[in-house]
Structure 1
Amino acid sequence: MSWSSWPMPGPSGRSSCNRLSCSRCTCASPMPPSTGSSTAIRLHRSSRPAVDRDQPRVAIRAPSQDGHFGPREGPLRGSEVDISAMRRRHLRSVLRIEALVYPRPWSLGLFVSELTLRSSRCYCVARVEGEVVAYSGLMLCDEDAHVTTIAVDPAWQRHSLGTRLLLHLAREACQRGARHLTLEVRVGNQGAQALYHRFGFVPAGIRKNYYSETNEDALVMWASDIDYPEYGARLDQLEASLP
């Protein structure tokens, strides 16, 4: 299936392959502080998202007044990060992060709907000492797997959480028989594009004005032949480079 033939949402926001109704960059950036009222669900807020790096373990700071852990002073080891399937009990934390990093956050109902589609979806969370600090999602359609979202709490960026989550999704896609990975990213998000290049993604096209809130174009990227041993070796190498 070529990138241009990926189904787009109809009036109901769903399609036969269930492309999500909300256009978004796969890898989110923190939103600026709100200057007014918001229709988003009001949950506790923290400060910035996460990615990877490590050395001697540095204790996580005590919870803030709102009960959420704040940023830490040192890098995260892989043994400190637990990646597991997203469950409904995680959604309060997921929605809190969602509101921090996306201009048009997904609703509780949309996440619940996605979690029910187990045969064609994979959603996972990354936790540190039990606290959800990041999450990601994957949609499968025939031989293609589409990364629907990768989001990291702004308080937890620069700890390779995005890399770990994408590794998890790529391996899951391979296990489910996918041959290609695809995603969209804002054309101006060079940092995310650099990460995707490490995973073998290459540009495949442009979706004009894909992000309606800013009229920004989306760069469509594909990683092909992920079912080949060479791609598995690439993932092993990426994982070995993490702390």
Structure 2
Amino acid sequence: MAELTIRKMELADIDQVMLVELASFSSPWNEQIFRQELTQNQHAYYYIIEIDQKIIGYVGMWVVFDDVQITNIAILPGFRGQKLGEKLFRFALQQAIGLGATRLSLEVRVTNIVAQKLYRKFGLVPGGIRKNYYTDNQEDAVVMWVNLI
């Protein structure tokens, strides 16, 4: 049986995280952004999900006072549809609550219905639209949020 682990992202994880990033996003972050998030952003918290020590996904969030903003979440395409994103998102919510957060928000592409359904499972609701949010194709983003307490 495969061993599933979720833990804090470390600098040594960036190479594998980049494989997830490049496979998941049309406008991927680069290694330097992850390095800065892990070493210079006091509000940033990043976690990876791995199976048998292979990183198959990650989630990032910024915690500022009692607000949490999910910066990104991704699962390698070959591992999608197995509820691993759901496990990772649940873990991130638990971490946010443990850090004293009372509200969580994120942006998601208007066309990403699968992700929107996942977020709705955790009580997130649409709160507005950010026009032309995504730089690769100027797609709008749905802002979703939830009160955590």
TM-score by length of 2: 0.95
Identity %: 36
Aligned equivalent of 2:125, options 191, 194, 202: 202
* Separation in structure 2 between the aligned mates of residue 163 and residue 171 of structure 1, nearest angstrom: 12
* Separation in structure 2 between the aligned mates of residue 119 and residue 197 of structure 1, nearest angstrom: 29
Note if 1:96 corresponds to 2:36: no
> 1:135 maps to which residue?
58
Count of paired positions: 149
Superimposed CA distance per residue, residues 164-204 of structure 1 (whole angstroms, 9 cap, x where no aligned partner): 11111101111111110000001111111111011110010
Q: CA deviation at 1:120?
A: 1.4
> 1:171 maps to which residue?
94
Aligned equivalent of 1:222, options 101, 123, 145: 145
Q: CA deviation at 1:117?
A: 4.3
Structure in which a larger fraction of residues adopt helix: 2
Structure in which a larger fraction of residues adopt strand: 2
Poorly superposed stretches of 4+, deviation over 3 Å: none
Which amino acid is 2:19 matched to?
A: R
Task: Provide the aligned C-alpha RMSD in A.
Answer: 1.3
Contact persistence 1:122–1:169 (CA under 8 A): no
Structure with higher RCO (Cα < 8 A, 6+ apart): 1
* Separation in structure 1 between the aligned mates of residue 19 and residue 141 of structure 2, nearest angstrom: 25
TM-score by length of 1: 0.59
Please say which structure displays the higher CA radius of gyration: 1
Q: CA deviation at 1:118?
A: 6.3
Contact persistence 2:134–2:140 (CA under 8 A): yes
